Structure 1
Amino acid sequence: MVRMAVHQSRGRTQIKDSRRGCPRYQPHKGKSLTFGIRPEHVTEKRVHTASSQVDFSADVQVVEPMGMDTMVFFSVKGTDICARSAPQAVVGAGHRMEFTVDLHHMHLIDPEKNRVIGHRSDDKAKTSD
């Protein structure tokens, strides 16, 4: 997980260089949150099919072939990350690789409450009051 702060400007959430409007995060402006994303939403660089997709590059540390997929391990600013990639797209350990992450599938977690922010269970709890 990546520790980060969520900042809002004119109702839009800023995470690194990417801006995504998301009202559910507004009450958490300025708080330290945990960022989470599953490996299947971090892949080899692909053609973007949604505005929530962002490209970045990193130095590959470990490559683990899994048959139909290959798990690629790397670090970004000291945080270990795992990507799920097509085997033919993977470079060897020690080489730089281009990735695409789909931030539509990200989760922000409130470490004080140990809960995913804006999770569907929160919506159900509000409607049952």
Structure 2
Amino acid sequence: MNFLGAKVARNAAGQAEIVLGAARLALPLERQTACGKLDGRAVEFGIRPEDITLEAVGNASAALAATVVVVEPLGAETLVIFQCEGGELTARLPPTFALAPGQQVTVQLDMEKFHLFDPQGGAVLPSR
């Protein structure tokens, strides 16, 4: 699981978002109520490597600018470490993506699959 320090905040339209530094990640409608209750709170944003890709994931993906740090081909899949707002993300990608360290990309996070944790004790926070 990837963990990034983040904050839950409302945008000008009143919708809850995950804030990672200067990046703001829109939340799917079905997660607005639960996440909106965490408005203003610091959180640990957790997302699994298989829930990060370079292609949009339906209507529930959020784009995040990133730089490729490490590419580790493993045959049937490739592990890629990206540097982005908030820290590093490890993604499990198909071997069809040709990536190189230093390359600038936009990663897509499946926002139906993330988890939120309390940064102090690690307890899971309600986000569904």
TM-score when normalising by structure 1: 0.77
Segments of 5+ residues of structure 2 without an aligned counterpart are none
Distance 2:6 2:64 in 1: 18
- Give 3-state SS (helix, strand or coil) of 1:88's partner: coil
CA distance in 2, matches of 1:96, 1:13: 28
CA shift at 1:88, angstroms?
Answer: 1.8
Q: Residue in 2 aligned with 1:3? A: 5
Structure 1: gaps spanning 5 or more residues: 121-129
Counterpart-to-counterpart distance in 2, 1:17 and 1:5: 10
Q: Are positions 1:84 and 2:92 aligned together?
A: yes
The yes-or-no answer on 1:93 pairing with 2:104 is no
Residue identity over aligned pairs, in percent, reads 28
For 2:72 and 2:100, locate their aligned partners in 1 and report how far apart those are by CA, in whole Å.
10
Which of 83, 100, 112 aligns to 1:75? It is 83
Larger radius of gyration: 1
**8 Å Cα contact 2:26-2:62 kept in structure 1:** no
Counterpart residue type for residue 47 of structure 2: I
Q: Higher helix proportion, which one?
A: 1
d(CA) in 2 for partners of 1:50, 1:96: 22
Aligned to 2:38: 28
CA distance in 1, matches of 2:16, 2:61: 15
- Root-mean-square deviation (CA), in Å? 2.2
- What's the CA shift for 1:113? 4.4
